[in-house]
């Protein structure tokens, strides 16, 4: 895609701090560095979001994430954990519409990077959960 910043990074039209690259993915430091070592993993094939993956691409991209994550973790002995994030759609805070996965190293439970989910469980009955569960099962592709 001509106007995609990640496609331009893949084509080396825009510089990046690449940490891993093969024929399927490119991994490079996120310019924002949510925490030190914050890395993006992107497929070289332009797909806008997770919903656009086929099984083959998903298998190939996801198979590489643990290897890259282990290298990021090993790069700094003070990394204690890692968030692996993927936002899909503007409503989910996706800002670049070329699928990408964030590997965000966690050093302490006081890092500036926060993930906060509201506990809505009090608003759901067993029947509510079962209705959601069945709807997802009914739409599962073979």
Question: Is residue 72 a contact partner of residue 79, using CB atoms and an 8 Å limit?
Answer: yes
Write down the residue that tokens 């739409």 correspond to.
Answer: 139
Task: Give me the torsion for CA of 122, 126, 131, 132, rounded to 10°.
Answer: 50
Name the phi and psi angles at 124, rounded to 5: -125, 135
Q: Which residues are catalytic?
A: 100
Give Rg (Cα) of the chain: 17
Task: Give me the torsion for CA of 70, 62, 60, 102, rounded to 10°.
Answer: -80
């Amino acid at each position: 895609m001509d106007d995609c910043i990640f496609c331009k990074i893949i084509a080396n039209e825009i510089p990046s701090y690449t940490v891993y690259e093969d024929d399927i993915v490119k991994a490079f430091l996120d310019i924002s560095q949510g925490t030190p070592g914050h890395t993006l993993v992107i497929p070289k094939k332009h797909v806008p979001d997770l919903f656009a993956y086929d099984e083959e691409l998903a298998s190939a991209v996801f198979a590489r994430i643990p290897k890259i994550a282990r290298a990021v973790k090993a790069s700094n002995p003070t990394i204690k954990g890692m968030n692996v994030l993927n936002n899909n759609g503007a409503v989910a805070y996706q800002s670049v519409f070329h699928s990408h996965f964030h590997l965000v190293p966690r050093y302490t439970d006081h890092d500036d990077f926060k993930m906060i989910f509201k506990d809505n469980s009090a608003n759901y009955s067993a029947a509510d959960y079962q209705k959601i569960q069945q709807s997802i099962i009914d739409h599962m592709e073979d």
